[in-house]
Amino acid sequence: MLEEIIALFLGLLAGTLTGLFPGIHVNLVSVFLLSASPLLLTIASPISLAIFIVSMSITHSFLDFIPSIFLGAPDEDTFLSILPGHQLLKEGKGYEAVILSFYGSLTALVLLIIFIPLFIVFLPLVNPYIIPLIPFLLIFISLFIIFRDKNLLLSLMIFLLAGSLGFLTLNLPIKEPLLPLLTGLFGTSALLLSLKNKSEKIPYQFIPKLKEIKIPKNQFIKSILLAGISAPFCSFFPGVGSAHAATIASEMSKQDSKSFLFLIGLINFLVTSLSFVTIYSINKARSGTAVAVKEILKSISSSDLIYIIVAIFVSSCLSFILGVYITKNITLLFNKINYKYLTVITIVTLLIVNILFSSPLGLIVLLSSTALGIFTILSESRRINLMGCLLIPTIIFYLLGN
């Protein structure tokens, strides 16, 4: 047991680093771990390595909201949080925004208890029938997004441009294609405009008590229902993840900034956690971390699943405590730094990260996606239209038979 406990805490540490530093995703660490597994398996058991990956993934799913909200530095699972997060940041509620996402992730543990047995029993039965419906569901969601915009033609144009850019990017020889794509669309575009806008100032960030941070009861229940509907369907299909689930949920019901952050926390955690249960249920992996766990364990037994579930619950509670502590200290530091300087540092950091983890082609994608993101903001079109960058490639993926 000592080895498994050490693996869990090392995963907590690794997830903290990947969560706080933009561009360093858990998938990158998982790929490295998988390549080094022949050596690592000589000093650690397969289940210990699996626990490390699970703990790292759960911790990352909590903490990657911090750079998304405070810096506008997007991650492929949390980039939609930038929009409501920045809104609350401008109201002096950046700390509250992050804590709300933590609350969502922690609340998702209750839903996880419900969905684990459902996935184990029913997923093998319904999976073959649901897969053919996915592209049509995504087409419906895409049309719904477009037609909800006041300027239909502009919305359609931005959606198709984002979709074309996404499709091209995912088919280019780029190591981490989503990094420059999402960084430009949702990160550097907004950061550059805020830098240009001299009137924009970020006020003092308040740190209220945890019990004072809450959302209305009706929004709390609505968020749980929305996450319960959208997240499970996006937990076991390749190419469909947290961003798709959040888009589906956000278009199903209108929510304010606080409720949306709570909802994204719910969805992000559920999709991450259920991806590991999916391996046991239908022997398929939908994420980079799940692939690593599947390859290391070869086949997941019932006892392995119990270890994984315990790791999810323990690392969740520890991540929440650690996340609150880190967020509080980052908020105190944030209040001492000039926001304009911080914006410049963030832009430079994102550029360096893209150079390190992408390629020269990635920089072209970054420039192109940044230009499209700026155009979307200046044209006052809804930035949710930029979700075409993921929706269109996924639709094509399924229509062409994977």
Say if residue 18's pLDDT is above 90.
no
CA of residue 304 relative to chain centroid, distance = 26
Measured distance CA(294)–CA(37) in Å, rounded: 12
pLDDT for the residue numbered 327: 95
Mean of pLDDT over the chain? 85
Measured torsion, CA atoms of residues 219, 221, 226, 232, in degrees rounded to the nearest 10: 140
Q: What is residue 306's predicted lDDT score, i.e. its pLDDT?
A: 94
Angle between helices 288-297 and 26-35 (to 10 degrees): 20
pLDDT, greater one: 116 or 400 = 116
pLDDT tier at 7 (50, 70, 90 boundaries)?
A: very high
Determine the Cα–Cα distance for residues 249 and 230; give it in Å rounded to an integer. 6
Write the single-letter amino acid at 162. A
Between the CA atoms of 177, 178, 184 and 186, what dihedral angle is there, to the nearest 10 degrees? Answer: 170
| Mean pLDDT in residue range 240-249 | 69
Q: 73 pLDDT band (50/70/90 cuts)?
A: low
Range of weakest confidence among 41-55, 226-240, 287-301, 367-381: 226-240
Helix (H, G, I), strand (E, B) or coil at 85: helix
| pLDDT of 243 strictly over 70 | no
Give the pLDDT of residue 47.
93
Evaluate if residue 81 carries a pLDDT over 70.
Answer: no
CA 252/CA 268 separation, integer angstroms:
17
C-alpha closest to that of 269 among 305, 238, 322, 231: 231
Rounded-to-integer distance, Cα 178 and Cα 91, Å: 30
- The CA-atom distances, in angstroms, between 263 and each of 78, 93, 109, 231 are 11, 17, 13, 10
**What is the pLDDT averaged over residues 110-135?**
87
Confidence (pTM)? 0.83
Q: What is the average per-residue pLDDT within 322-341? A: 90
The CA distance from 41 to 196, in Å, is 52
pLDDT band with cut points at 50, 70 and 90 for residue 381: confident
Res. 43: pLDDT tops 60? yes
Amino acid present at 286: R
Whether residue 90 contacts residue 203, with contact meaning beta carbons closer than 8 Å, is answered with yes
HSE of 219 in the Cβ direction (CA atoms, 13 Å)?
16
pLDDT at residue 62 tops 60: yes
Confidence of residue 400 (pLDDT cuts 50, 70, 90): confident
pLDDT of residue 200 exceeding 70, the answer is no
Instruction: Return the percentage of the chain with pLDDT > 90, whole number.
Output: 32
pLDDT at res. 96:
94
In the predicted model, what is the mean pLDDT of residues 149-168? 92
Please check the confidence at residue 78 and state whether its pLDDT lies above 60: no
> Is-contact 26 11, C-beta < 8 A?
no
- Sketch the domain layout of the chain as residue ranges: 2-399
**204 torsion bin: left (phi>0), alpha (psi -120 to 50), beta (else):** beta
Task: Name the nearest CA neighbour of 145 among 398, 395, 390, 382.
Answer: 382
Structure tokens at 13: 């540490």
pLDDT of residue 5: 93
Which pLDDT score is estimated for 241? 65
pLDDT band at 76 (very low <50, low <70, confident <90, very high): low
**Minimum mean pLDDT among 197-201, 261-265, 357-361, 362-366: which range?**
197-201
Q: Per this entry, what is the length of the chain?
A: 402
pLDDT-derived band at 309 (thresholds 50, 70, 90) equals very high
Tokens encoding 381: 């079109």
pLDDT score recorded for residue 79: 55
